[in-house]
Structure 1
Amino acid sequence: MSLLTHLLSCLFGLGSWVSINGLWVELPLLVPQIPEGWYLPSYLSVLIQMANVGPLFVTLMHRFRPGVLNEVAVVYAVIAVGTVASFLLGFFWKETVVVGGARRSVALLVLTFFLATVDCTSSVTFLPFMMRLQPRYLTSYFVGEGVSGLLPAVVALIQGVGVVRCINGTQLLNRTSNATTFDLQAQYQPANFSAEEFFFFLSAMMLVCLLAFLLLNHHPSVARQNPSRSYTNGVKQEAQRGRKWAEQKPMMEPCGQRKPRSSFGSGSYSWLQVSYILGLLAWANALTNVVLPSVQSYSCLPYGNNAYHLSASLAAVSNPLACFIAMFLPN
């Protein structure tokens, strides 16, 4: 096992969802400065779901035009778009234009859509590339994917986003009786560094992902551990890849009439079992990526910005923790 390949796989996985995860934890700092306010989490959830046109396009191309898309070129394009969009957010996230008689953060929403498209498409482009490597490196990739949520959360905690304090505000009601009322006003404290610098940090993380991908493609020590990329007289050993695919295919397709009642873990599943597994995946992803993020700002509202910020940041620890446990206690 190559420690370098494990590290590169982890850094490659870091770029999968770092942009959108970083945007979520930065919301407490963005919300007070944009016209959408606390509606922004709901808007982001809609944009992220619309961004699934990216993986849908890739899947349809593989289905109806196999071999047309070069997976390596697609990964390069995905990382490049993510890097540029994160960098542009640092300059334009506060810019607004009048749409329908009201000011809207069009630049923020458009660039967020591109970032969401990049992150969603990474799910169907990064993993096929990782299949070129030995299976043991896939866990390292998932650790990096989990760290893509943990690292922005840690940086946001250091940044101190969304810290607010209440101050007394006095309003004179009657000049004759000098009657006054006291009310509390929220005063946001300045963060340790700005949102612009945070977005530049996300852009730098995408550059790290790009560098890791370059090394995974061209570093000699990685190539020596990748038998599927070996060459003989300039011709790829397709026979070896075909044999591996034939061995893996029964585990990836539902069984037909041969084993209609196969059990879990046997290598082939019935259609009922496949429907059950896909249903669980759909439900878990709907909760994780749509339902909970869109309502989190409302559920945390009675407890203040600190509760929201800590819940959004510390929740990111669960993913890499689960991946680390899977490295030592595989099921």
Structure 2
Amino acid sequence: MALLVHLLACVFGTGSWVAINGLWVEVPCLPSYLTITIQLANVGPLLFTLLHRFRPGLLSEVPVIYGVVAVGTLACLLLAFLWRFTSPIAGQPHSTAFFGLAFCLALVDCTSSVTFLPFMARLQPSYVPTYFLGEGLSGFLPALVALAQGAGVARCANVTETQYLPANFSTHLFFLLLAAMMGACLAAFFFLTRLPAAWELSRQNLCPSNISLHSFQEIPGDSPQWPGGGEPASTEKGSGPSPPEGATYSLATFAFIYTLVAWVNSLTNGILPSVQAYSCLPYGNVAYHLSATLSSMANPLACTIAMFLPSRSLALLGALSLAGTGFGAYNMAMAVMSPCPLLQRSPWGHAIIVLSWVLFTGSLSYVKVMTGVILRSRSHSALVWYGAVEQLGSLTGALLMFPLVNIYGFFKSADYCSLQCPA
């Protein structure tokens, strides 16, 4: 039964960002517009967080989750039929249906940050990494479907002309598959709330749902039991001792943890996604698709590693954050140098940009999981604030990048087939 709960938690996690990630891989030509649309939807988590802070207990996660997942499923269904429709605005056709439904999906996924993970706090802590694994798969599964679809695959015809190959199946079917994934999330959540095993295993670990976060020092810890009894694995070899599950962190430590959450999410959800095409396309279509797909695979892989090799060492998490920031800096530098980045015509350049994106995503994904696990051991409220800080970091990164990409034209797009760069 515990294995079944793990499976349900994983499927439930896939619904957190699968819809928006699906839009990313299906419509990669609008990264900054999608980013700003997603961040405008932060009104959802903002409202929920304010209600949680000033009216604790007024609104629980369960009805909100049912509502947002149902809306996400319906929006994906509507996208399948309405995505190509335009409306005249100021004499010009605009994709009002697409961006309107994209906003609805963004509202769903952003709100999941402050509802899905706090709901998982009601279950045993061992299910939290499984949830993050599902969250990682929410990017990987749409990427796999896009690879099977073959959309956007190009070749150089007549040496300098880019020729795009026909897709294997339509955008209509792609959005229907997204709707099926959201429906699976809804079904998994229904069984999670009904399955007796999920609650019998976690009865003693249930976090109260009406805790107010007045002070980080006042956050109560609980003592969750991991499968097999005893304490969770403390650290990787050589990473140093970690605080016990029920330890009280200082205000400075909590500030460091939440700063990590904000910084990591600003990079992974706001800043770098806006420039992935600029950093990869100068190396060719294959490099771009490999970086997008393999980095999507790095996310669930990092979550799996966190399940079997968890480490609560803040020194290790800080080091991984620095390493991920370094890889992100390289990716950003290549985007700035577009359309003629370093080692553009060399196989080493192609390999390095793909590897950099994979390591960037993987290292920061591990930090996301472990900060969530640490805060889960503190309280339900700590996870609500985790989601709020996560969205705040994402919003800050998106607002920073939007004018640089769309207003000032700081980044230059590249056509690999017609590039004429110095050797």
| TM-score (normalised: structure 2) | 0.63
Letter in 2 for 1:8: L
1:310 maps onto 2:310 in alignment: no
Q: Closer, same or farther in 2 for the Cα pair 1:311/1:27, shift >3 Å?
A: farther
Question: How much is the aligned-residue C-alpha RMSD, in angstroms?
Answer: 2.5
Match of 2:2 in 1: 2
How do residues 116-135 of structure 1 correspond to structure 2 at under 5 angstroms?
116-135=106-125
SS in 1 for 2:113: helix
Deviates more, 1:1-10 or 1:74-83: 1-10
**2:178 alignment counterpart:** 202
Summarize the Cα distance change of 1:278–1:226 in structure 2 as closer, same or farther, 3 Å threshold. Answer: closer
* Structure 1 partner of 2:369: none
Change (3 A) 1:190 1:325: same
Correspondent of 1:220 among 196, 202, 214: 196
8 Å Cα contact 1:25-1:313 kept in structure 2: no
Gaps of 5+ in 2: 219-240, 312-423
Aligned residue in 1 for 2:84: 94
Question: Which of the pair has more CA radius of gyration?
Answer: 1
Q: Aligned with 1:255: secondary structure?
A: helix
Q: State the SS of the aligned residue for 1:152.
A: helix
1:105 aligns to 2:95 (yes or no): yes
Return closer, same or farther for 1:140/1:253 CA change in 2, 3 Å cut-off.
farther
Q: What letter is aligned with 2:31?
A: P
Deviation at 1:102, TM superposition (A): 2.4
Task: Rate the CA distance shift 1:26–1:60 in 2: closer, same or farther, 3 A.
Answer: same
Q: Say yes or no: does 1:275 pair with 2:275.
A: no
Q: Describe the SS at the equivalent of 1:124.
A: coil
* Aligned-residue offset at 1:100: 2.8
Equivalent residues of 1:254, 1:270 under 8 A apart: yes
Of 65, 72, 78, which residue of structure 1 is paired with 2:62? 72
Distance verdict in 2 for CA 1:306–1:95, change over 3 Å: farther
Which secondary structure does the structure 1 equivalent of 2:115 belong to? helix
Q: Report how far residue 184 of structure 1 moved.
A: 4.1
1:10-43 deviations in Å (ceiling 9; x for gaps): 1111111111111112225xxxxxxxxx3x1110
- The alpha-carbon deviation at position 132 of structure 1 amounts to 1.7
CA contact (8 A) 1:161 1:309 kept: no
Q: Do structure 1's residue 255 and structure 2's residue 217 form an aligned pair?
A: yes
Evaluate the alpha carbon distance shift between residue 220 and residue 62 of structure 1 in structure 2; reply closer, same or farther with a 3 A threshold. same
Give the secondary-structure state (helix, strand or coil) at the position aligned to 1:8.
helix
Contact 1:149 1:316 in 2 (8 A): yes
Secondary structure of residue in 2 paired with 1:149? helix
Q: CA deviation at 1:84?
A: 0.7
Identity of aligned residues (%): 57
Task: Answer yes or no: is the 8 Å Cα contact 1:254–1:268 preserved in 2.
Answer: no
Q: Is the 8 A contact 1:91 1:196 kept in 2?
A: yes
Q: Is the partner of 2:22 in helix, strand or coil?
A: helix
What is the CA-CA distance between 1:209 and the residue it aligns to?
A: 0.6
Structure 1 unaligned residues grouped into runs of 5+: 29-37, 169-182, 229-239, 257-262
Distance 2:214 2:185 in 1: 29
SS in 2 for 1:192: coil
Partners in 1 of 2:129 and 2:215 — Cα distance? 22
- Mapped to 2, the partners of 1:126 and 1:200 lie a distance apart of 23
CA displacement at 1:273 relative to structure 2: 2.8
1:18 maps to 18
The residue type paired with residue 40 of structure 2 is M
1:326 is aligned to 306
What's the offset of the Cα at 1:81? 0.8
In the alignment, structure 1 residue 298 sits paired with structure 2 residue 278: yes
- 1:118 is displaced (CA, Å) by 0.7
Name the amino acid aligned to 2:6: H
- CA-to-partner distance for each residue in 1:71-126, whole Å, 9 max, x for gaps? 21101001001101111111111112222332221111111111111111111111
- Counterpart of 1:279 in 2: which secondary structure? helix
TM norm structure 1: 0.79
> 1 CA distance for matches of 2:60 and 2:250?
33
Residues 23 and 128 of structure 1, relative CA distance in 2, 3 Å threshold: same
2-structure distance, mates of 1:220, 1:271: 37
Deviation at 1:138, TM superposition (A): 1.4
For residues 222 and 273 of structure 1, what CA distance do their matches in structure 2 show?
Answer: 32
Partner secondary structure for residue 161 of structure 1: coil
1:286, 1:143 → 2: CA distance?
20
User: In structure 2, what residue type is equivalent to 1:124?
Assistant: V
Secondary structure of the corresponding residue to residue 84 of structure 2: coil
Show the 5 A alignment for 1:52-67. Answer: 52-67=42-57
2:169 is the alignment partner of 1:189: no
Structure 2: which amino acid aligns with 1:162? G
Q: What amino acid is aligned across from residue 243 of structure 2 in structure 1? A: G
Q: Does structure 2 conserve the Cα–Cα contact (< 8 Å) formed by 1:94 and 1:105?
A: yes
Shift in Å, 1:225: 2.5
Structure with more of its chain in strand, by fraction: 1
| Match for residue 265 of structure 1 among 243, 256, 273 | 243
Aligned to 1:42: 32
Distance change in 2, residues 1:224/1:245 (3 Å):
closer
CA distance in 2, matches of 1:252, 1:21: 35
Preserved CA contact (<8 Å) 1:45 1:290: yes
